[in-house]
């Protein structure tokens, strides 16, 4: 967004939703539990993907407000906290967020479900390691309709030359991913 713009419109109502399920996809294979961190855009053997699913309270909030005037999603962000062990390499990591197109189980996986539209992009800054705030407005609006299959969000990073990636907490041992959803009333 342009320098000086507000990230959300004035007068919106904020709802924070913690993740209900989280999985990390690793080339090294599946494991029993959820690792404490996920690294996006690292060298091939360490590059990982993140799957995250949220309770539908954000959708219920919007539909529950319909009686007192309509409420619709204005803006939504996925927030991930940086790991204390995050390496401040200075190399930014390009990220893509999409909807997961099939069911998955929480924990450590060796294969990700396919991705489906809408897709959007973001940037993980590694110097200094800081809160990742990805715009997922398009994804939540796509899931808002009745009968929409909600298998969560799928995040992947693009490996950059000389990058060790961007590392964030999964919630297994620290702050869990969360949604920051802003609603506008009419």
pLDDT in tens, 95-148: 999 999 999 999 999 999 999 999 999 998 888 778 999 999 999 999 987 777
In which band, very low, low, confident or very high, does the pLDDT at 4 lie, cut at 50, 70 and 90? very low
* Digit-coded pLDDT (tens) for 58-109: 777 766 544 455 678 889 999 999 988 777 666 788 999 999 999 999 999 9
Separation CA 23–CA 32 (nearest Å): 11
Domain range summary for the chain, segments of one domain joined by +: 17-185
Cα distance between residue 40 and residue 23, in whole Å: 13
Question: What is the full DSSP assignment across 145-156?
Answer: STT-----EEEE
CB 46 within 8 A of CB 145: no
């Amino acid at each position: 967004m342009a320098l000086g713009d507000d990230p959300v419109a004035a007068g919106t109502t904020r709802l924070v939703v913690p993740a209900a399920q989280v999985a990390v996809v690793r080339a090294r294979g599946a494991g029993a539990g959820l690792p404490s961190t996920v690294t996006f855009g690292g060298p091939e053997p360490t590059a990982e993907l993140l799957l995250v699913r949220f309770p539908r309270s954000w959708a219920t909030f919007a539909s529950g407000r319909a009686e007192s005037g309509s409420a619709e999603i204005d803006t939504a962000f996925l927030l991930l906290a940086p790991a204390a062990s995050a390496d401040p390499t200075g190399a930014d990591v390009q990220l893509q967020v999409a909807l997961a197109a099939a069911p998955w189980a929480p924990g450590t996986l060796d294969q990700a479900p396919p991705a489906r539209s809408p897709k959007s992009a973001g940037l993980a800054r590694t110097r200094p390691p800081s809160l990742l705030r990805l715009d997922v407005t398009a994804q939540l609006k796509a899931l808002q309709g009745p009968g929409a299959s909600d298998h969560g969000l799928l995040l992947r990073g693009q490996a950059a030359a000389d990058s060790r990636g961007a590392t964030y907490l999964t919630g297994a041992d620290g702050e869990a991913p969360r949604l920051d959803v802003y609603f506008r009333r009419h």
